[in-house]
């Protein structure tokens, strides 16, 4: 996960979710991917996932229930942890809406 994030995968995955022409299947795969990139112990470095938080928050309001569920899981994963960044993580999720 950390290596994939370091290679810059997050930005193109987010771009797929923000592209209005993406199919439901593509959105499901992209949000599932984001969710998996944000999970694990220890959590990924905040700097490597924070730019995806607004995109994840938008996906809560997607028309597809599977996309909504994975978006909620992704936000849960990214806001978790008990490291020194945990307050910033939670605040970013709250501010994203």
Question: Could you report the per-residue pLDDT of 14-64, keeping only the tens digit for each?
Answer: 999 999 899 999 999 999 999 999 998 888 888 889 899 999 999 999 999
Q: Angle at the Cα of 29 (from 70 to 61), degrees rounded to 5?
A: 45
More confident residue, 54 or 87: 54
| Residues ≥6 apart with Cβ < 8 Å to 94 | none
The per-residue pLDDT for 42 is 83
Dig out the tokens for 59 from the structure: 């996906």
pLDDT band at residue 81 under the 50/70/90 scheme? low
| Mean pLDDT, residues 51-78 | 93
> Residue 84 pLDDT more than 80?
no
> Residue 97 pLDDT more than 70?
no
């Amino acid at each position: 996960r950390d290596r994939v994030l370091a290679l810059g995968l997050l930005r193109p995955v987010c771009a797929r979710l923000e592209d209005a022409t993406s199919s439901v299947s593509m959105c499901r795969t992209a949000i599932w991917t984001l969710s998996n990139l944000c999970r694990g112990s220890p959590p990924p470095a905040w700097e490597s996932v924070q730019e995806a938080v607004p995109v994840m928050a938008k996906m809560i309001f997607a028309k597809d229930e599977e996309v909504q569920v994975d978006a909620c899981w992704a936000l849960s994963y990214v806001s978790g942890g008990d490291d020194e960044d945990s307050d910033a993580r939670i605040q970013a999720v709250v501010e994203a809406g």
